[in-house]
């Protein structure tokens, strides 16, 4: 007898998918997505997630009756009742939230009538009758032996906090398997989703990479040192490890070395994908370009970042409809062989409670995870970030590589803040060749005025000045004369990219016209004034670098732009602070530590100096680090605040606002769409946005030069308030404060 219970109706052809069909399809997909240890649990989650659709109220609604129906809680009630604890509780969280997001657990006093902030406790009380004669005629929820799950959950837990964090992570993982399976089956039936997936062949990618790397010459001392370091990494490709530390100096070929190691490991261990996690949007363009140039048609690389949209990809072959469909599908769940994303996207997806973000989590399992510039992991959320890496590598068959030129003692940090028995291996044990990659010395200038600084800077053939605030960068740029460039997030992303391109061209021409940068006339000298956005991922080679006092890691990153190609033996990165500057009046732990190290060490780039910096920094921030796990907010797996914690887990400083600027016809059209419809492709608009402080936004609002058109996205309405060289302005041509 054919089932009369409908789950979905295809609006294009009127065909019907029954609840039974959808439940079984979702269960099979969910099981397929899960690692073996979670397959049985994931299968039951898929089978039970839509039990509420067997209800008469839902059937009337899908047939056209205008009534509100909450169908997701029915399955949660049933699994909570039928399955052993804590599996039943975990799946109750997942099923109750499979549309709206995993709810807060709440407590026994929560009312079922609270619809503003409903909790799992409250929602489980909303229906006290058994629904379920209808579903029981067609479907049976199987029994499950919880012994193995309890062993997996409790192992390595030396206190209740680890248990709560681990249970929460397991819950989000099961939720990921369920919601991705539900979305795919629904989208496939309703015709809103194609089955296109990106293609990647790891073996062919490795072959191409080996060809590229074998073409590199190895004659100079630096080239030989680079080869020796890389061989240390490749020699350990057969060793078993959960987290590998790749401590390699700037200029030692970290990027290609890391992707070769990952490909070797992925092929050897049968991993499904490689996920390359980068701290900044600005670095992704360069990394993707480098990998695409090597792998060519053997890898369709998925890039997932806020400033890029596949809708806006206008290439030739790569912009085919199948390619765009495959990439848009993969952006939703990271079902691709090679994924390049940001640390913000990676970690905020892991700790969200929302379906849109968590769908990716199950595809982070059984993968190679490479964390580029790993020292930049957000310190406020360092413990949950390290926990996530430990959980993925200990329980979900992934492996991680931490890659940086300034390596903290991650072995101790992981063991202290995550799992004490995580297997952490140093890929580089012999650091004796590190000194060969030192391309500049570091000199402390002490305190200077703006004019004193510029007098020093502008006699250099090419100089980069990096300061701590956008306001200071703008002031210095306006005081500077000659051939000058400005970079800060006051500028729209597209203008920053344009200026970086202009700088590269100018530096290349300067080197061509004046080999060795000797006798460069005043009118050809190049000065770049920037904020810290230029420190990583922007391959520039400057004669001299000047860095305002800040954390040691940032200073050493800045030094990586000085004499980058190692052509000179006398290059210098100068460290300075401004006399009576605003930054000097502020208390900053990183500044104070660096100030002391500048006095103590002759060479602040020495490994022992870096080690002392991180040891002291993490010790001083110990309380701050330990305050941001989900277990710091609850002591019971029944009351985990999934929703509240997910909303607060924001890696990027919340004290910023974005303003979109109409700079060309494309951006003007997007803003017009926003004005007349209240919506547009926000990702496409990202490249035209500037970042400012909330009080700076208030100043623009007071001057009536921005509007959000009811959308929450602020747009500049007066072009006089944007300068192509310095970005957003806070007073117009005729406006004076």
Alpha-carbon distance of 343 to 419, in angstroms, equals 21
Alpha-carbon distance of 557 to 458, in angstroms, equals 22
pLDDT of amino acid 734 = 53
pLDDT of amino acid 564 = 82
Question: pLDDT, tens digit, for every residue of 255-286?
Answer: 999 999 999 999 999 999 999 999 877 678 77
Tokens linked to 529:
């004034």
Over residues 221-243, mean pLDDT:
91
Dihedral sign from CA coordinates of 709, 712, 713, 717:
positive
Question: pLDDT, tens digit, for every residue of 55-73?
Answer: 888 989 999 898 888 889 9
Angle at alpha carbon of residue 579, lines to 576 and 584, rounded to 5°: 80
pLDDT at 677 exceeding the cut of 80: yes
Alpha-carbon distance of 507 to 414, in angstroms, equals 42
Asked if the bond preceding 86 is cis, omega within 30° of 0, the reply is yes
Over residues 119-139, mean pLDDT:
79
Question: pLDDT, tens digit, for every residue of 573-594?
Answer: 999 999 865 545 555 788 999 9
Of the spans 31-45, 514-528, 667-681, 713-727, which averages the highest pLDDT?
A: 31-45
pLDDT of amino acid 283 = 75
Who contacts 281 (Cβ-Cβ below 8 Å, separation ≥6)? 305, 306, 307, 342, 493
Q: What is the pTM of this model?
A: 0.90
In order of 194, 409, 538, the CA distances from 14 in angstroms are 19, 60, 53
Pairing assessment for the beta strands 367-372 and 302-304 based on DSSP bridges: unpaired
What average pLDDT is seen over the chain?
A: 89
pLDDT of amino acid 580 = 67
Confidence of residue 224 (pLDDT cuts 50, 70, 90): confident
Over residues 83-89, mean pLDDT:
97
pLDDT of amino acid 315 = 43
pLDDT at 308 exceeding the cut of 60: no
pLDDT at 342 exceeding the cut of 80: yes
pLDDT of amino acid 635 = 86
pLDDT of amino acid 737 = 41
pLDDT at 491 exceeding the cut of 90: yes
Tokens linked to 311:
């809708």
Over residues 491-502, mean pLDDT:
92
N-to-C CA span, the chain: 79
pLDDT of amino acid 587 = 57
Question: pLDDT, tens digit, for every residue of 597-624?
Answer: 999 999 999 989 999 999 999 998 888 8
Over residues 21-31, mean pLDDT:
97
pLDDT of amino acid 70 = 85
pLDDT at 307 exceeding the cut of 70: no
pLDDT at 230 exceeding the cut of 70: yes
Over residues 515-525, mean pLDDT:
90
pLDDT of amino acid 318 = 42
Q: Where are the alpha helices (DSSP H) in 369-409?
A: 382-395
Question: Superfamily assignment of 202-336+360-434 in CATH?
Answer: P-loop containing nucleotide triphosphate hydrolases (3.40.50.300)
Greater pLDDT, 292 or 127 = 292
Question: pLDDT, tens digit, for every residue of 140-199?
Answer: 999 999 999 999 999 998 889 999 999 999 999 999 999 999 999 999 999 888 878 889
CB 473 within 8 A of CB 496: no
Who contacts 485 (Cβ-Cβ below 8 Å, separation ≥6)? 499, 502, 503, 506, 526, 527, 528, 529
In order of 35, 91, 327, 727, the CA distances from 38 in angstroms are 6, 12, 27, 51
pLDDT of amino acid 52 = 92
Pairing assessment for the beta strands 727-728 and 722-723 based on DSSP bridges: antiparallel
CB 243 within 8 A of CB 423: yes
User: Among 205-214, 244-253, 357-366, 532-541, which stretch is predicted with the lowest mean pLDDT?
Assistant: 532-541
Over residues 113-128, mean pLDDT:
82
Write out the residue limits of the CATH 3.40.50.300 domain(s) in the chain: 202-336+360-434, 439-604
Asked if the bond preceding 423 is cis, omega within 30° of 0, the reply is no
Question: pLDDT, tens digit, for every residue of 692-713?
Answer: 888 999 999 999 999 988 877 8
- DSSP E strand boundaries for 296-393: 302-304, 338-342, 367-372
pLDDT of amino acid 286 = 79
Q: What is the CATH number of domain 439-604?
A: 3.40.50.300
pLDDT of amino acid 422 = 95
pLDDT at 37 exceeding the cut of 90: yes
């Amino acid at each position: 007898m054919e089932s009369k219970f409908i789950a979905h109706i295809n609006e294009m052809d009127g065909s019907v998918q029954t609840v039974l069909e959808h439940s079984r399809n979702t269960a099979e997909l969910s099981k397929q997505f899960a690692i073996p240890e979670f397959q049985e649990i994931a299968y039951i989650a898929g089978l039970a997630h839509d039990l509420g659709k067997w209800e008469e109220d839902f059937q009337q609604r899908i047939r056209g009756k205008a009534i509100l129906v909450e169908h997701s809680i029915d399955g949660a009630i049933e699994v909570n009742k039928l399955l052993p604890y804590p599996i039943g509780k975990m799946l109750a969280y997942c099923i109750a939230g499979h549309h709206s997001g995993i709810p807060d657990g709440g407590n026994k006093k929560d009312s079922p009538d609270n619809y503003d902030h409903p909790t799992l406790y409250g929602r489980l009380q909303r229906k006290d009758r058994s629904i379920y004669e209808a579903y029981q005629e067609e479907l049976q929820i199987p029994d499950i032996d919880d012994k193995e799950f309890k062993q997996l959950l409790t192992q390595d837990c030396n206190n209740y906090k680890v248990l709560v964090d681990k249970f929460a992570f397991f819950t989000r993982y099961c939720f990921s398997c369920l919601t991705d399976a539900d979305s795919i089956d629904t989208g496939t039936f309703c015709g809103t989703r194609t089955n296109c997936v990106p293609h990647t062949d790891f073996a062919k990618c490795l072959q191409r990479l080996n060809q590229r790397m074998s073409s590199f010459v190895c004659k100079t001392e630096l080239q030989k040192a680079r080869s020796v370091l890389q061989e240390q990494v490749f020699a350990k490709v057969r060793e078993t490890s959960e987290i590998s530390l790749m401590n390699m100096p700037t200029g030692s070929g970290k990027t290609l070395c890391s992707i070769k190691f990952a490909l070797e490991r992925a092929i050897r261990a049968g991993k499904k994908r490689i996920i390359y996690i980068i701290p900044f949007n600005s670095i992704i363009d360069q990394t993707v370009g480098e990998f695409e140039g090597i792998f060519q048609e053997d890898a369709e690389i998925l890039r997932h970042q806020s400033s890029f949209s596949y809708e806006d990809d206008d290439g030739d072959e790569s912009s085919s409809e199948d390619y765009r469909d495959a990439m848009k599908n993969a952006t939703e769940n990271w079902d691709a062989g090679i994924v390049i994303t940001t640390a913000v996207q990676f970690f905020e997806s892991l700790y969200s409670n929302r379906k849109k973000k968590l769908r990716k989590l199950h595809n982070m399992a059984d993968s190679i995870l490479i964390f580029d510039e790993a020292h930049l992991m957000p310190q406020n959320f360092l413990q949950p970030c390290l926990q996530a890496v430990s959980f993925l590598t200990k329980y979900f068959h992934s492996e991680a590589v931490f890659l940086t030129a300034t390596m903290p003692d991650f072995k101790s940090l992981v063991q202290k803040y995550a799992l004490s028995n995580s297997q952490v291996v140093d890929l580089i044990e012999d650091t004796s060749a590190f000194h060969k990659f030192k391309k500049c010395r570091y000199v402390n200038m002490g305190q200077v005025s703006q004019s004193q600084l510029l007098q020093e800077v502008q006699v250099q053939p090419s100089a980069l000045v990096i300061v701590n605030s956008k306001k200071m960068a703008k002031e210095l740029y306006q005081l500077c004369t000659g051939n000058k460039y400005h970079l800060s997030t006051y500028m729209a992303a597209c203008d920053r990219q344009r200026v970086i391109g202009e700088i590269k061209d100018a530096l290349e021409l300067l080197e061509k016209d004046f080999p060795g940068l000797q006798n460069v006339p005043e009118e050809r000298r190049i000065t770049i004034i920037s904020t810290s956005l230029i420190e990583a991922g922007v391959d520039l080679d400057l004669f001299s670098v000047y860095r305002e006092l800040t954390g040691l890691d940032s200073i050493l990153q800045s030094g990586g732009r000085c004499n980058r190609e190692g052509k000179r033996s006398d290059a210098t990165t100068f460290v300075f602070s401004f006399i009576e500057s605003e930054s000097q009046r502020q208390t900053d732990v990183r500044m104070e530590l660096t100030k002391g190290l500048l006095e103590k060490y002759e060479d602040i780039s020495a490994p022992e100096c870096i080690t002392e910096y991180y040891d002291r920094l993490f010790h001083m921030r110990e309380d701050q680090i330990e305050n941001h796990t989900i277990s710091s907010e609850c002591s019971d797996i029944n009351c985990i605040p999934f929703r509240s914690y997910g909303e607060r887990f924001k890696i990027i400083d919340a004290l910023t606002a974005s303003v979109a600027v109409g700079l060309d016809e494309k951006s003007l059209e997007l803003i017009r769409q926003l004005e007349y419809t209240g919506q547009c492709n926000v990702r496409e608009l990202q490249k035209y946005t500037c970042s400012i402080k909330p009080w700076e936004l208030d100043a623009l609002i007071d001057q009536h030069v921005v509007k959000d058109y009811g959308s929450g996205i602020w747009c500049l309405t007066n072009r006089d308030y944007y300068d192509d060289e310095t970005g957003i302005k806070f007073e117009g041509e005729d406006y004076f404060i």
